[in-house]
Structure 1
Amino acid sequence: MIDSRQVLRYRTHVQQLDREHGTAADTAVLDLGVQDTGPDGAMWALAVRGAGIKEEDLVWLWTLRGAPHAYRRADMAAVAAAVAPWSDADAAKRIFDASKPLKAAGIPVLEALDTVAAEMKRIVTAPMVKGEMSTRLHEALPEPYQRYCRSCDAVHLYEMPFRLAAVHAGLELEAHTSPPVLKPVKGFKPAKAFPQRLDPVRAYLHLCGPATVKEVAEYVDSPVKEVKAHWPADAVEIDVAGEKRWILAGDEAALREADAEAVRLVGPYDLLLQSRDRKLLVDDPAKAKALWPVLGRPGAVLAGGRIAGLWRPRKSGKKFTVLLEPWEQSLDRQAIGVEAERLAAFRGTALTAVEYAD
């Protein structure tokens, strides 16, 4: 029987957290997209995987769950095809309450997304701040596409159609901009097909397997029925701690033989922490609550084939400190220090200290 530690060892290896060097071409997490949230976002996730990647080789897009993700720039057209909703029902699920006024007006959701994308493509001919594009879309689109936003005290486009249509309009996000700046990609056209490695269902099973259908559906933000309809024929059932899960047949041997036990400081939104089986990763409710709070997520210490603690960066003037909350007394503090130095170098500063909340 496979236990949770064996699963984490497998994910550590298949997500390449146990390697020291890599390139954009051979970095597997770029197939599913690397979420870029917070100061230690996509580029830190790539750095801890040893990927010496230049930003110009990447493209930032709003894709799964409307979150910003980094991909290989060369994959953009295929990614647009891979992340597209499979059906009107799927599209309705992905845009949440924005689907209700569209349905009431008799507008199919896929058609609505195409309409938004077409308007975006017409409007954005040079880099444009999100707020300006939102204003222009408000002027161009009819009432079923719009909502009253209490926080803004204004009427504007629903957020999820806005985000999900952008990639199909050929718009990329300028990296590290806040508020977001979108710019057109010259000559962009979504691909008609995409390689298997970019299929979100296959990529999730490969990188975050073994998994259940429900977990994959939650990650993609699609109905379970839709994910079942697109379930890989080569997915095999496997028992994990008494629960039925699935993994790609080609990965089963790697799962059973996995022994990766790297020490890493993974970011709050790293793919390792994004799988939908949190109880499998951290079975203590109090620890899980500390790792995944509603606001202000910390990073996680990966060590010994398990999540072994929390970390937070602290910068004050020229001082940069990493605060550690270990969950195990056996943590290799020398290895943690090496990783903290790596984080400081990534941030372009010197490490002042690693402080432990013992």
Structure 2
Amino acid sequence: MPTATADDVLAYRVTTQQLDRDAGTAADTAVLDLGVQDTGPDGGLWALAIRGVVPDDAELATAWTLRGAPHLYRRADLPAVAAVTAPFSEADAAKRVHDAARPLKAAGIPVLTALDTIAGRMREIVTAPTVKGEVSRAVSDALARDDDPGPYNRYCRPCDAVHLYEQPFRLAALRAGLELQPGTSPPVLQPVPGLAPQDTVPDRLDVVRAYLHLLGPATPQHVAGYLDAPVEDVKAHWPDDVVEVEVDGQRRWLPADDAGRLGAPTPRGVRLLGPFDLFLQARDRGTLVPDAGHRKAMWPVLGRPGAVLADGGIAGVWRPRTAGRTLTVAVEPWTRLSPAARAGIEEQAERLAAFRGVPLKAVETA
């Protein structure tokens, strides 16, 4: 069995996720196969920018998919994405909708049936760009039972209103052939003409294989955690052409075609990763950040920072601070930074300010 260290794993992921390149296109950007989470001001487009991509607006589409989060995909891939991001089974669907599964079960409604029902209503209602709140209210009203909100709806204390459970609403949107208008807050949904799940999809878009390729070597538990799916469903969809790799004493798996890339030299350079960059989405957080205190700082319950990726590893966290029309990047390093790393952080901070369209006021290092 091949063996690898944590440093080998991180070096593999940096190169596989193309964080070491200066230029590319949406067509050749690997992370778009799994989807690029578009959360926060330094979300999907920043994740592409630090991989050298400035996409044309028409190339990309935004949809609620894995974990109900908004993700960027190549527009041409949407029919396949609609297929591969759907729940594997009824048990998987129940897990993905969280607390919404209980009232549906009590009413004798399978979750997959509920998703199709919600999708059908959404398809009828959204015939033109429509704000999320209007869609939710219309679907909620359509599925209520007289004075009884019914199993599809819940009372929301913060809103002081009855509306659809959030996860079924989000997971049904792509089933209904709906995408999100980019950059809208609150979100605006709009129909994608003729969108339907594709019967056969390329291997590169299979979510289990894509995780193993981009975030491997990994275990079924890691993949299940990322997809928010049951481990048994992930095992049932486990690719045949994977090889075992021992990583610091743990058995993991990697596509056979990728095994030869483990042990390659560590890429040099600095990137300021956004809080939800795919590199930080791996479910083996101990491999990414070995120190428990640093993990707590990297993934707090609320208000995630970004990560300083320096020479193949996480060297600290960063946060943006805005004052008027200026940006300050506050960096908390976890190790002594070399002059080259400091210069790289300065360069990346300038790049971030240009991306946001504001001047960089300062880089502050704790």
Fold match by TM threshold 0.5: yes
Counterpart residue number, 2:48: 46
Contact 1:5 1:306 in 2 (8 A): yes
State the AA in 1 paired with 2:48. L
TM-score (norm 2): 0.95
Q: What is the aligned-residue RMSD (CA, Å)?
A: 1.1
State the AA in 1 paired with 2:344. A
Contact 1:7 1:255 in 2 (8 A): yes
Deviation at 1:118, TM superposition (A): 0.7
Cα deviation, 1:161-182, whole Å, max 9, x if unaligned, reads 1000000111111112111111
CA distance in 1, matches of 2:24, 2:194: 30
State the AA in 2 paired with 1:293. P
Counterpart residue number, 2:217: 210
Counterpart residue number, 1:129: 131
Cα deviation, 1:33-66, whole Å, max 9, x if unaligned, reads 0001110000000000001212221100000000
Q: Does 1:285 align with 2:287?
A: no
State the AA in 2 paired with 1:63. T
Deviation at 1:261, TM superposition (A): 2.9
Q: Does 1:268 align with 2:275?
A: yes
Counterpart residue number, 2:344: 335
Counterpart residue number, 1:11: 13
CA distance in 2, matches of 1:324, 1:339: 12
Counterpart residue number, 1:255: 262
Alignment equivalent of 1:239, drawn from 234, 246, 256? 246
Alignment equivalent of 1:355, drawn from 349, 359, 364? 364
Contact 2:11 2:264 in 1 (8 A): no
CA distance in 2, matches of 1:222, 1:71: 21
Counterpart residue number, 1:303: 310
CA distance in 2, matches of 1:204, 1:152: 36
Contact 1:102 1:145 in 2 (8 A): yes
CA distance in 2, matches of 1:246, 1:33: 21
Find the residue that maps to 1:257 and give its secondary structure.
coil
Structure 1 residues 245-254 or 48-57, which shifts more?
48-57
CA distance in 2, matches of 1:258, 1:61: 36
Deviation at 1:203, TM superposition (A): 0.4
Contact 1:61 1:172 in 2 (8 A): yes
Contact 2:269 2:344 in 1 (8 A): no
CA distance in 2, matches of 1:17, 1:208: 13
Counterpart residue number, 1:221: 228
Cα deviation, 1:226-245, whole Å, max 9, x if unaligned, reads 00000000111110011111
Q: Does 1:148 align with 2:155?
A: yes
CA distance in 2, matches of 1:330, 1:296: 25
CA distance in 2, matches of 1:92, 1:150: 23
CA distance in 2, matches of 1:138, 1:180: 17
Q: Does 1:315 align with 2:317?
A: no
Deviation at 1:286, TM superposition (A): 1.0
Counterpart residue number, 2:147: none
CA distance in 2, matches of 1:101, 1:318: 48
Counterpart residue number, 2:197: 190
Structure 1 residues 292-301 or 184-193, which shifts more?
184-193
Structure 1 residues 234-243 or 313-322, which shifts more?
313-322
CA distance in 2, matches of 1:258, 1:183: 45
State the AA in 1 paired with 2:356. R
CA distance in 2, matches of 1:257, 1:336: 24
Contact 1:9 1:261 in 2 (8 A): no
Q: Does 1:178 align with 2:180?
A: no
CA distance in 2, matches of 1:197, 1:59: 18
Structure 1 residue runs of 5 or longer lacking an equivalent are: none
State the AA in 2 paired with 1:185. V
Map 1:21-60 onto structure 2 (within 5 A): 21-60=23-62
Cα deviation, 1:188-240, whole Å, max 9, x if unaligned, reads 22212211111110000000001111010010111000000000001111100
Cα deviation, 1:263-320, whole Å, max 9, x if unaligned, reads 1111000001011111111111111111111111111011122100111111212322
Contact 2:266 2:311 in 1 (8 A): no
Deviation at 1:258, TM superposition (A): 4.7
- The list of structure 1 runs, each at least 4 consecutive aligned residues, that deviate by more than 6 angstroms after superposition, is none
Deviation at 1:259, TM superposition (A): 2.6
Find the residue that maps to 2:4 and give its secondary structure.
coil
